[in-house]
Amino acid sequence: MVIVLSKNISSHDKEQLRSFLSERGFAVREQVFGDDDILGATGKGSVDIRELSLLPGVERVAQTSKPYELASRETKSEDTIVTIGPVKIGGSRISVIAGPCAIESREQIMETAALVRESGAVMLRGGAYKPRTSPYAFQGLGMKGLEYMKEAGDAYGMPIVTEVVSPELAQQMMPLTDMFQIGARNMQNFELLKKVGSLGKPVLLKRGPSATIEEWLLSAEYLLASGTKDVILCERGIRTFETYTRNTLDISAIPVVRKLSHLPVIVDPSHAVGIRAKVSPVALAAIAAGANGLTVEVHPRPEEALSDGPQSLYPEQFEKLMRDIEALAPVVGKELLRTPMPQTAERILVQGGFVHAEEKQATHEHGEAKNTLRIAFSGESGAYADQAIIRAFGEDSERMAVSSFKSVFDAVLEGKARFGMVPIENSLAGSVHENYDLFIRYPDIAIVGEIKLRIVHCLIGAKNASLETIRIVRSHPQGFAQCKEFLDKHPEWTLEPTNDTAGAVASIARENLTDTAAIAGEVAAQLYGLKIIKEGIETNPLNYTRFFIISRREVGNEMEVPSLLHTGAALPPGYESQVPNKASIVFSTPNEPGSLFACLKILSERGINMSKLESRPIPGKPWRYMFYVDISIPEEERIFDLAMEELKTKTEDFRFLGAYRASL
């Protein structure tokens, strides 16, 4: 039985409650569970639940039909999300942990960390102490190996997880690891569970090879009852009569445990099958079955591995697996988790040597100080996004040109740029769908500002070019769409799309072309020393592009239901004092009649104006759509918050993209 205590309970009422339970035959343990202070009452005691619920300081009593009360979904209906540094395991994310079975040397773990990080892993795994069947097998490097892995994790921005094999080592290992792993052989080592649980760190609990699901959850109960509130369950295969694979992955355990328990569940496909070629298909099957993540063994040279080489993926196999997971994730309604990488965490080959973590950290801190206000945009200098940055941040702003809209999001997420500037909509050509879709793929990116820029297109060419000499015109496809009437008058011209308008101008200057022109702005012509052949060629002079300023949400501040002025993302200089009056949200609805109407009715009834509604296909779900909505924010913030809370109950996937001041 679990007694949830009131937030303002007095020490006297708490002691009275303890005595009440003890007198009735219960053993009582107090601990923090999520956001709640609780008393766990165990044993063969007897009490009237109604009487207990009325005692001072009792908020509610949760009595479950399961012996694992703290781990049971009957006690906590919502999913637990475990946070380890920048990594969140659980909820709508798929988190991938990767690394070698065993730490063999500093060079090996540093090289592996670089490779798996580059492919998208967010946590680093590796064994410093290896419980092996044979006493003659490699047992690990001990504390020295753990020091090597901690250095690698720090260098590449990855929290680390490693197995603890005895209660005596747990305290010694604690400062060097971010999450303890309880191995399959130790799942029912109850003294170890109690010791590790009492330390309060997150714990990855592997299922024993012959354990039932209830025994597995009871082991999790030991950890929770001992003090930790963060337990991740790991299915790694059970022992059956089948001998072709190392173990038999109990894939049915994933949905079963997710129904029984609120704890996140990940899968170890490497130990489940023990055969390299089978790891990836089994990993994808686990994601399809509902796993919150994976822990995968990867080695730069598996044939040389001192432990479990036959089941370790080559780096290129792991990279392909990560791409496949990213493609599969939307089909099961999830995203692959990405976390920021330190600027200096570049891939370094073993032959070149590795710098120490402290050297990397010093370089990183210096680089961060220099690039505090760097703003990323897609294209080349002179692009309209570049002009929008100048409008928002001033002439002296440090701009960072990248090759694509996705690269803007990556730069902001990884901390290479503090902000990004991306176009979202043009008044003539419509929405920039690629950027709408990127907001779905990057849930840790928030909208923090809006800029509307008047777009005046010019036909730009070499000094001696004219309308008669032009044969080819280059521009971004949006530029062509916005100048359609002008281009229709010249059907003889060949249109060549480019990544951005300014890039089209730059290419003509670089190649010294006389028969090629570009559609871009006046600034680009001046910047690259070309002439304006014809100005104002856009179809409609009321041609505006709406840009979003984006920033990264800080760890721990991600909003499920928004608090409007606290999005968790950095605000541009001068925007801190602005009261937001507009917000952008995105959601999907149940596939049933009237579901969208029910959502819009919530906004209407609360007097919230909707200025934009657009649908986009959900990747991997044919004929299903996400709805992007721009809405006004009422003066009374609470009205908006209540509307968002209600809207979430009517939708299948609700995201708050950001609150900002509308640009006039």
Rounded to whole angstroms, the Cα distance separating 563 from 557 reads: 10
- For residue 627, give the nearest of 659, 588, 595, 599 by alpha carbon: 588
- For residue 55, give the nearest of 89, 9, 121 by alpha carbon: 9
Strand-pair category, 582-588 with 231-235 = unpaired
φ and ψ of 637, to 5 deg: -60, -35
- For residue 142, give the nearest of 99, 113, 103 by alpha carbon: 103
Length of the chain: 664
Q: Are 237 and 269 in contact (CB under 8 A)?
A: no
Which residues are within 8 A (CB) of 404 and not within 5 positions of it... i.e. 6 or more apart? 378, 499
Q: Are 493 and 537 in contact (CB under 8 A)?
A: no
Tell the burial category of 142 from Cβ atoms under 10 Å away from its Cβ (0-12, 13-18, 19+).
middle
What is the token pair recorded at 325?
A: 């997971």
Q: Which helix (H) or strand (E) holds 654?
A: strand 653-660
φ and ψ of 143, to 5 deg: -60, -35
Select which of 339, 344, 545, 589 is catalytic.
545
Amino acid symbol at 468: E
* 521 alpha-carbon distance from chain centroid: 36
Active site residue 545: yes
Which residues are within 8 A (CB) of 504 and not within 5 positions of it... i.e. 6 or more apart? 474, 475, 476, 479, 498, 518, 519, 520
DSSP string, 434-500: HHHHHHHH-TTEEEEEEEEEE---EEEE-TT--TTT--EEEE-HHHHHHTHHHHHT-TTSEEEE-S-
Which residues are within 8 A (CB) of 160 and not within 5 positions of it... i.e. 6 or more apart? 123, 124, 125, 126, 149, 150, 152, 153, 176, 177, 178, 179
3-state SS string for 361-404 = HHHHHHHHHHCCCCEEEECCCCCHHHHHHHHHHCCCCCEEEECC
Question: Left if phi > 0, otherwise alpha if psi is -120 to 50, otherwise beta: which for 52?
Answer: alpha
Rounded to whole angstroms, the Cα distance separating 585 from 657 reads: 5
Active site residue 547: yes
Q: Are 285 and 253 in contact (CB under 8 A)?
A: no
Select which of 547, 548, 640, 656 is catalytic.
547
Rounded to whole angstroms, the Cα distance separating 246 from 243 reads: 7
Amino acid symbol at 27: A
φ and ψ of 210, to 5 deg: -125, 20
DSSP percent split of the chain into helix, strand, coil, nearest 5? 35, 25, 40
Q: Which amino acids are annotated catalytic?
A: 545, 547
